[in-house]
Structure 1
């Protein structure tokens, strides 16, 4: 896999770039490990709560009181009616067996299987309106090309909340079939 392997010095999952057009790409990701938690509520509330739970874990709120390197992106996926899964990518050199056990029983370790995704990058605040608009635009782009859309949308956030809107990197993605 070659693709971008870091953002502002933070590790991110590697991928092969299959196609690129302006801010839209088709990427092939290999498997990678995440820590995830599923939260109830609207999207904004769920990402805030899920982020706090996972941040507590990586900043030492675990069975070994050990810090884990920060990575990007923070991911958010729909998990049902008013349910959202929030994910932190784990460093590539780790396997679930090498990570300290979470103190919070809501945290799960999951290996995300290889995937092919259509991804659109955008800056600004990731409001519900902005995310919905970007997802609709990407879904339209996928349909125009006759690509086999499978799942999503997924939301990827790369920057701290303190980052100025025009310097922020956000992405919306849909899983694609092999088509």
Structure 2
């Protein structure tokens, strides 16, 4: 199953401090297997609602602004829902919500995939939202989709989401998958849980690969 997802290296999942503390809701999953020595888990995400925007023009900044505006009210909602944490972008556009729709809490992580067609950044909606109850975006560049039974092998690591760091851990994960009887059926997906203010050694980053 193709998943056009993306994750933050220079973006902020906030409610984060320099020490990695965060009050942002985390997308739930079922743990199927764990390898603590290599920080690898086999997980299944039963269901996720994603709001996505293509990475074009200004890339990450452009997609992030569109998604931030969506969760801040640029949608066809009616009731205001408080966010679980503030979101810092370090840009003036952060305050440009039209406040006409539903304000939606942000959920960690933010996903990124760079190898499947046009890259997209995706926010995961809070668990209480379904495909039917998720407010429709008013910006045609933002889309809503549902992902079910997403089985992945995931490796967790600290530091930054630099190409070198991601490539290093992707290689470890790929080798683990093949030596443990699984088959990769998707491209590596990066995931970040912390904003740039968090000290690199305390950040939580992941690479996920869909498996069977």
TM-score bin (small chain) = 0.7 to 0.9
The equivalent of 2:155 in structure 1 is 120
Contact 2:136 2:144 in 1 (8 A): no
TM-score (norm 1): 0.83
Alignment of 1:1-179 (within 5 A): 8-22=22-36, 23-40=39-56, 46-63=59-76, 64-78=100-114, 80-81=116-117, 83-177=118-212
Measured against aligned partners, the alpha-carbon deviations of 1:108-137 in whole angstroms (never above 9, x if no partner) come to 101011121100001111112211221122
Structure 1 residue aligned with 2:79? none
The gaps in structure 1 that reach 5 residues or longer are 1-6
Residue 79 of structure 1 and its aligned partner are, at CA, apart by: 5.4
Deviation, structure 1 residue 40: 3.7
**Larger strand share, 1 or 2:** 1
How far apart, in 1, do the equivalents of 2:35 and 2:157 lie?
Answer: 13
115 and 137 in structure 1: CA distance in 2 versus 1, 3 angstrom threshold:
same
| Aligned-pair CA distance for 1:49 | 2.9
**Offset at 1:92?**
1.2
2:55 match: secondary structure: strand
SS in 1 for 2:53: strand
Secondary structure at the aligned position of 1:62 is classed as coil
**Pairs aligned (count):** 167
Q: Distance in 1 between matches of 2:59 and 2:109?
A: 16
CA root-mean-square deviation: 2.0
- Of residues 95-104 and 25-34 in structure 1, the stretch that sits farther from structure 2 once superposed is 95-104
**CA-to-aligned-CA distance 1:27-70 (integer Å, 9 cap, x gap):** 111011010112247xxx63333222211211233343432111
- SS in structure 2 opposite 1:140? helix
Q: Are the counterparts in 1 of residues 42 and 151 from structure 2 also a CA contact under 8 Å? A: yes
Cα deviations across residues 61-113 of structure 1 (Å, max 9, x unaligned)? 334343211110000123535x2121100111122443333232111101011
Structure 2: which 5+ residue stretches go unaligned?
A: 1-20, 77-99
Instruction: Considering Cα pairs closer than 8 Å and 6+ residues apart, tell me whether 1 or 2 has the greater RCO.
Output: 2
CA distance in 1, matches of 2:191, 2:129: 21
